[in-house]
Amino acid sequence: MTETKDNIETEKNTLFKYYSKDNIIKYGDIVIAYVTPQSMSSFKVEKGGIYNNRCGSYKHDDIVGKKWGTKIATHTGRGFIYILHPTPELWTNVLPHRTQILYLPDISFISMNLNLKPGDNVIETGTGSGSFSHSIARSILPTGHLYTFEFHEERSKRVRQEFLEHGLEDIITIQCRDASKGFGLKDCIDAVFLDLPAPWDAIPHTIECFKQNKIGKICCFSPCIEQVQRSCASLHKNKFINIRMFEVLTKPYEVRSFSYKPIPEIKLNNNDDIMEVVEPTQTTAIELEPSKVFNLTVSRSATSVRGHTSYLTFADYPKFNDLM
Amino acid sequence: MSNIKEQKKSIEDFNVVDKENYMAPNAYIYVLLPSGNSKIVQLKPNCNISLGKFGSFKANSIIGKPYGITYEIVNKNDIKLYKNYTFFDDFDIDGEVTTINNKDLNDTQTSQKLSHQEIEQLKKELLKGEKNSENVIQTVLDNSVTFEAKTEFAKAKYIKRKEKKFTKIFTPLKPTAKLLCEYYLEIKPSKIRELRIDTLSQMMTLANVHAQSNYMVVEDIQGLLLGAVLERTGRIGKVLAIHEHSQFNGNILPSFNFDEKEFNESVMTYSWDRLLNPEPFKQDKLELERVIKYLETTPKEEINEKLVMKKERYIKRIAEGEKIQNFINENKFDGLLIASGFNTIDVIEKLKPYIGGSRAIVAYSPYKETLLETYNYLRNSPEFVNAQITESWMREHQAKKGRFHPLMSMSGSGGFLISAIRVYNTPNIQPISSAIVANKLKRKREALEKLENEPQKKVTNIEESSESVETPNTN
């Protein structure tokens, strides 16, 4: 048993290039331990390693050789986890939150509006926790490149390490740099994403980065309307066009089953004069019309949902210097 | 001057290598018009392309040029570069909120001195190229009684509006999933099941669509979803589209301008009939045998040419189909995306064996009600985790200096998505939460049964049948 496991090579884990035909978990893989949507964490599978959660502990050696998505029991058999393959979004759920992160509707909408696709070259700043960097990398691989800039030195070091562990070093270049001083890139960028407290400082520097003879795409991500106003002014001043601003959110729904309460019925007794109020119990109501009481599937949005993340400002820079 | 006949050009006369960024002959283009409207047209060489009241232009004049440049139509159908890029943009038309008010403006029909006929005449002259748009706008302004009384902001807004009405400019853009989604939502929403761009974008993320992976797509929205997946995978990796009837209906697909070779290598279309049939090619093979037998036994001069072609067609069809079937048998897919009129539960039930572990499924519906039972199904299935239903919400804001506010009208709903992750159940582990859920369900089922078979049956011991359950560790 252990012999076959040793035969499974310890390969360098890559978040995206992992997908071997047999779909098997190997030593060195980073996995997501899924308990519930609210309770997930990640760890790296190592020889002899133990993963603990509140239900008990799990031996890494039990996981190796299993298919992704397999349910794994604790060694006592009392609790279980599902071993999921990390995606950028699952990773977002488990990463140590060092900064505010982007949520799925924003990630999706930005990627679509910047028209991210394999082969694109993208600038992102600031890197933050590297959450969106993973999503961008996913969309532009295998031939695209992400240049991400983080002002905070300690943070950039930590994220660089993370990219390395996830096998993303060929796709992502991270630099510790103040974006308001420029990016040091020329005529090679398809799209720019600015998640900065003062995007207007960086906007003028993006122009030289964009590819020639193409419309360069930009997105500014700011939580406050005052930031949006200053960004828009800067975009306009720097001759960006089609300035449009959006908010996107998703509303999660809870699904329940619902049964109506029956109205009390009044029945006449044998003796016509005396009336009796029959308080229907659940059972009597079911006896009457079972279909009406059961099987009503209803849904409602949660009492408290996310109401605002950030404003998304998009604009185009037509860079046709050669032709004009 | 326009009578001089231009030399006819064929596709080979245009040398367009970078079809991603430059307009190739016969490519589809998305034409953005000053009115904010848009049009999708094919650039057939030597053809004239009409933009309705904005005039027309020759396809040859823009083939080979990059996407995204703005042109103005001059004379009858000539074009020149339009350099005033801020045209589309009225960000700071005197942003100050002034104190001038509208107390002297009355709602009458007399503020424009030009009659309807006179304005129509101006439009005709403009279209013929006898007048340019600036003349026309100036004439309209000169004849407006109330124009001078307007605030600077209102004046600028008025001019902008007239410009958008009379200026003959257009911008050819590369049709992307985003533009096509917006376009069809505007003109034929039911054709794409009212799928909105933010919802489509979320499907790409939820299914983790990226290059070097294989996806399964079930859609009947004219190929919009398939096209969006192909755009995101860059045609690197396979996409299997399952369809009803004899072939996949992808009316929108040509507009994506995918390279034919890339497209054919990446896309497999397969019918439900074949997929669900344990012997998908039995019928075709029998038919082929019959044809071959006939051809062998009939003298050569009596053979119909069509029948030989039919034989070839069968051979090709079986070969292609078997290739797909082999791919399906040998590979697990990295995601399932659904936007169809089928019952989502049925689709998931039928296709889940083909979806790899830890891979996502995502289904779209314009109606939440159609997804509620799917949600219950996914929640109770041991083969799925992380099931969720979401509705997408999107709001655009006016972004103008000093006048930021949400737009006065918005889309009421972007529709609903249901998503979940496929997992492998290990039946002998049944602890904690799932045991509790299972017990709950069991009790419910038994309660129902009890009601149906009133009244004699007793509830059987719940613990009895699930012996493997360890003491539930309630948290």
Which residue from A180, A200, A183, A94 is spatially nearest to A146, judged by alpha carbons? A183
| DSSP string for residues in B162-205 | HHHHH--EEEEE---HHHHHHHHHHH-GGGGTT--HHHHHHHHH
Report yes or no: B319 at the A interface, CB cutoff 8 Å: no
Instruction: Give A276's DSSP letter.
Output: E
Interface mutation vs chain B, best among A54, A111, A143, A255, most B CBs within 10 Å: A255
Instruction: Please name the amino acid found at residue B281.
Output: F
Q: Which fold has domain B11-172?
A: Vcp-like ATPase; Chain A, domain 2 (3.10.330)
- Compute the distance between CA of residue A33 and CA of residue B381 in angstroms, rounded to an integer: 19
Shortest Cα–Cα distance, A115 to chain B (Å):
8
Interface mutation vs chain A, best among B18, B79, B206, B210, most A CBs within 10 Å: B210
Flag the least confident range among A79-83, B89-93, B328-332.
Answer: B89-93
Mean residue pLDDT across chain B: 84
CA atoms within 13 A on the CB side of A238: 24
Residues of B in contact with A250 (CB under 8 A): 202, 390-393, 417
Residue A9 shares a structural domain with residue A157: no
Q: What would the mean pLDDT of B259-269 be, rounded to a whole number?
A: 95
Radius of gyration of chain A (CA): 28
pLDDT in tens, A174-227: 999 998 889 999 999 999 999 999 999 999 999 999 999 999 999 999 999 999
8 A C-beta contact, residue A162 and residue A128: no
Residue A111 shares a structural domain with residue A136: yes
* Cα–Cα distance list, A122 to A149, A200, A311, B303 (Å): 11, 18, 20, 62
Q: Do A23 and B332 touch (CB under 8 A)?
A: yes
Q: Does the domain made of B177-422 have the CATH classification 3.40.50.150? A: yes
Task: Count residue pairs from A and B with Cβ separation < 8 A.
Answer: 237
Task: Give me the residues of B, 345-364, that contact A with CB < 8 A.
Answer: 356-360
Interface mutation vs chain B, best among A117, A230, A324, most B CBs within 10 Å: A117
Q: Do B358 and A80 touch (CB under 8 A)?
A: no
Q: What is the pLDDT of residue A214?
A: 93
Instruction: Identify the band that residue B461 occupies on the pLDDT scale cut at 50, 70 and 90.
Output: very low
Residue A182 shares a structural domain with residue A313: yes
Report yes or no: B376 at the A interface, CB cutoff 8 Å: yes
**For A19, which of B198, B213, B376 is closest by C-beta distance?**
B213
CATH number at residue A31: 3.10.330.20
Residues of A in contact with B208 (CB under 8 A): 87-89, 138
8 A C-beta contact, residue B445 and residue B453: no
Ranges of beta strands (E only) in B308-354 are: 333-339
Shortest Cα–Cα distance, A138 to chain B (Å):
6
Which residue from B170, B372, B422 is spatially nearest to A83, judged by alpha carbons? B422
**For A118, which of B234, B332, B431 is closest by C-beta distance?**
B234
Q: Where are the domains of chain B?
A: 11-172, 177-422, 432-467
- Extract the annotated binding site of A: 150, 178, 195
Q: Which domain holds residue A228?
A: 90-247+307-323
Residue A211 shares a structural domain with residue A312: yes
B-chain residue closest to A143, CA distance: B211
Picking from A47, A63, A86, the residue at the C-terminal end of a domain is A86
Q: What is the pLDDT of residue B472?
A: 41
Picking from A86, A107, A123, the residue at the C-terminal end of a domain is A86
Q: Do A243 and B206 touch (CB under 8 A)?
A: no
Q: What is the pLDDT of residue B413?
A: 92
Q: Do A115 and B424 touch (CB under 8 A)?
A: no
Report yes or no: B194 at the A interface, CB cutoff 8 Å: no
Residue A176 shares a structural domain with residue A191: yes
- Compute the distance between CA of residue A160 and CA of residue A135 in angstroms, rounded to an integer: 15
**Average pLDDT for runs of 10 along chain A of length 324:** 37 46 80 90 90 86 90 80 91 78 93 96 93 94 94 92 89 92 94 96 96 95 96 93 94 90 70 63 53 73 92 94 68
Ranges of beta strands (E only) in A168-240 are: 172-176, 191-194, 214-222
CATH number at residue A94: 3.40.50.150
Q: Do A109 and B177 touch (CB under 8 A)?
A: no
8 A C-beta contact, residue B352 and residue B378: no
Report yes or no: B332 at the A interface, CB cutoff 8 Å: yes
Q: Do B397 and A246 touch (CB under 8 A)?
A: yes
Q: What is the pLDDT of residue A105?
A: 96
Interface mutation vs chain A, best among B84, B87, B89, most A CBs within 10 Å: B89
Q: Do B21 and A213 touch (CB under 8 A)?
A: yes
Residue A36 shares a structural domain with residue A179: no
Instruction: Identify the band that residue B474 occupies on the pLDDT scale cut at 50, 70 and 90.
Output: very low
More confident residue, B163 or A279: B163
Residue A152 shares a structural domain with residue A175: yes
Instruction: Identify the band that residue B455 occupies on the pLDDT scale cut at 50, 70 and 90.
Output: very low
Strand order in the sheet with B28-32: B38-42, B28-32, B169-173, B71-74, B78-81
Shortest Cα–Cα distance, A51 to chain B (Å):
18
Q: What would the mean pLDDT of B454-471 be, rounded to a whole number?
A: 41
Report yes or no: B200 at the A interface, CB cutoff 8 Å: yes
User: Looking at the predicted structure, is the pLDDT value of residue B406 above 90?
Assistant: yes
Residues of B in contact with A171 (CB under 8 A): none
- Extract the annotated binding site of A for S-adenosyl-L-methionine: 150, 178, 195
Roughly how many angstroms between the first and final C-alpha of chain B, as a whole number?
86
The interface pTM score, or ipTM, of the predicted complex is 0.90
pLDDT in tens, B173-232: 999 999 999 999 999 999 999 999 999 999 999 999 999 899 999 999 999 999 999 999
Domain count, chain A: 3
